[in-house]
Amino acid sequence: MSMADRTASTVWEGNLPKGKGTISLKSEATEDLEVTWASRSEKRSEGKTSPEELIAAAHSSCYSMALSNALSEGGHEPERLEVSSTVSFDMVDGAPTVTESKLTVRGKVPGIDEDDFLAAARDAEQNCPVSRAIKGNVEISLDAKLED
């Protein structure tokens, strides 16, 4: 039995280039989200989301929890962690592919030095559940800095 299951669903109408979808989260944590091929494959999203943006949201939130836990277990409870993930979508061998997740974290953590912060940041990068799910398929990079 799993610790937790979460469900999202999508209703898609029409063909790929001109169609559109509506994503619903069972938790109802947000209103339904619109998704289109254009919002996924072009530079402008026009208020619609994409699977890559949702992966980025999952990765940044998961990573922030993992880093907070690692720092706290090391005796340095973070005051604030600002985490973003930029997920890239590109053509690889002629197929649309999620290629990379670039994590960026800026942390305000009283009483920790830069080396210990970076060690915790790298550990969280390798061990947060979303990183573990995509590792080996998606390149993961990390830009971590401790702020005053």
The predicted-structure confidence for 11-62, as pLDDT tens digits, reads as follows 999 999 999 999 999 999 999 999 999 999 988 888 999 999 999 999 999 9
Q: What is the pTM of this model?
A: 0.94
Domain of 25 in residue numbering reads as 1-49
- Residue 118 makes CB contacts below 8 A (sequence gap 6+) with 144, 146
Q: What angle do CA 147, 138, 122 make, to 5 degrees?
A: 30
Q: What is the mean pLDDT of the chain?
A: 96
Q: How many domains does the chain have?
A: 2
136 class by beta-carbon count within 10 Å (0-12 exposed, 13-18 middle, 19+ buried): exposed
Amino acid, res. 29: A
CATH number of the domain bearing residue 87: 3.30.300.20
Instruction: Indicate whether 33 and 57 sit together in one domain.
Output: no
Instruction: Indicate whether 26 and 58 sit together in one domain.
Output: no
